[in-house]
Structure 1
Amino acid sequence: MQRGSIKARDAVLLICYFLFTSMFIYAAVSKLMNYQIFIIQMDRQPFPDSYTPILVWSVLASEILAAVMMMTLSLRRIGLFFATAMMICFTAYIILVKLHYYGVIPCSCGGVIASFTWTQHLIFNLFFVTIGIVGIYLEQQFRKKKA
């Protein structure tokens, strides 16, 4: 019986890692393929324009780093924490946008995600925050059993 639960946990964790990795690779590649549009969208964010180059490369590097970490066995757990923290930050930003804290803000996401409404973005992000929390919980349970 214990083996079945371990296999189920492993399967759920692999799904968590796969979904996060796929989403971050897709987002980064979409932004890189439409790099000039991404820069213009970042210029329209509620931050000083002088921050745009830093924000552009920070977002891209963070997305790629999170994906690579989750594809690397020794860094997978840290990558899951990092990816979940990023999604929490992005979700907080979306909540502020939805509350009109910044006024009207264009989306700077890539690909199909860029066509989402802010409400759809919020649901999408909350889905990934939930995946991250579930993955972290399962990782913690595994470590407790292992100790």
Structure 2
Amino acid sequence: MQTGSIKTRNTILLICYFLFTSMFIYAAVSKLMNYRIFILQMDRQPFPDKYTHLLVWSVLSSEILAAVMMMTLSLRRIGLFFATGLMVCFTIYIILVKLNYYGVIPCSCGGVIARFSWTQHLIFNLIFVAIGIVGIYLEQQFRRKMA
């Protein structure tokens, strides 16, 4: 790999890490700032109410963990897989919502993202899944060339 392509690869990866970190920090902080609303929204999700607190803290912990992993040099690669996996899971959930699998349910996202329609959520998530796939591809490509 040439020096220019290494710089390009590193720049693209840094952008991927930055976008995921920013998005997950924003999502977690906005949910924590409106914690009671977040709990009420999670109560209205298609899962038994007895799991609400587990789901609330699982989502928040996962978002914070993904962001921390992206900011930690030694954990970035695994964090990229983790973050992309989260986005795939959230995207599958949105697809099921769009297919009316659960009936009508509210969004439990925080901040500006909470104002998205389900279609806008789907597009947003698909963009982040694509960002994750690009990042994983670049990481894997680099590792193969180094081996």
| TM-score bucket of the superposed structures, by smaller chain | over 0.9
Aligned to 2:87: 87
How far is 1:146 from its partner? 0.8
Secondary structure at the counterpart of residue 104 of structure 2? coil
How far is 1:93 from its partner? 0.2
Q: Distance in 2 between matches of 1:144 and 1:90?
A: 30
- The alignment yields a C-alpha RMSD, in angstroms, of 0.7
Aligned length: 147
Seq. identity, %: 85
Structure 2 portions without partners, runs of 5+: none
Aligned to 1:139: 139
Indicate yes or no: 2:114 matched with 1:117: no
Amino acid aligned to 1:46: P
Aligned to 1:5: 5
Aligned to 1:26: 26
Q: Distance in 2 between matches of 1:89 and 1:80?
A: 14
Q: Which 4+ runs in 1 deviate beyond 6 A?
A: none
Q: Distance in 1 between matches of 2:12 and 2:104?
A: 38
Q: Distance in 1 between matches of 2:120 and 2:46?
A: 21
TM-score (norm 1): 0.99
How far is 1:76 from its partner? 0.3
How far is 1:74 from its partner? 0.4
How far is 1:85 from its partner? 0.2
Amino acid aligned to 2:48: P
Structure 1 portions without partners, runs of 5+: none
Secondary structure at the counterpart of residue 102 of structure 2? coil
1:66-122 Cα distance to aligned partner (Å, 9 max, x none):
000010000000000000000000000000000000000100000000000000000
1:86-105 map, 5 Å: 86-105=86-105
Amino acid aligned to 2:89: C
Q: Distance in 2 between matches of 1:6 and 1:74?
A: 19
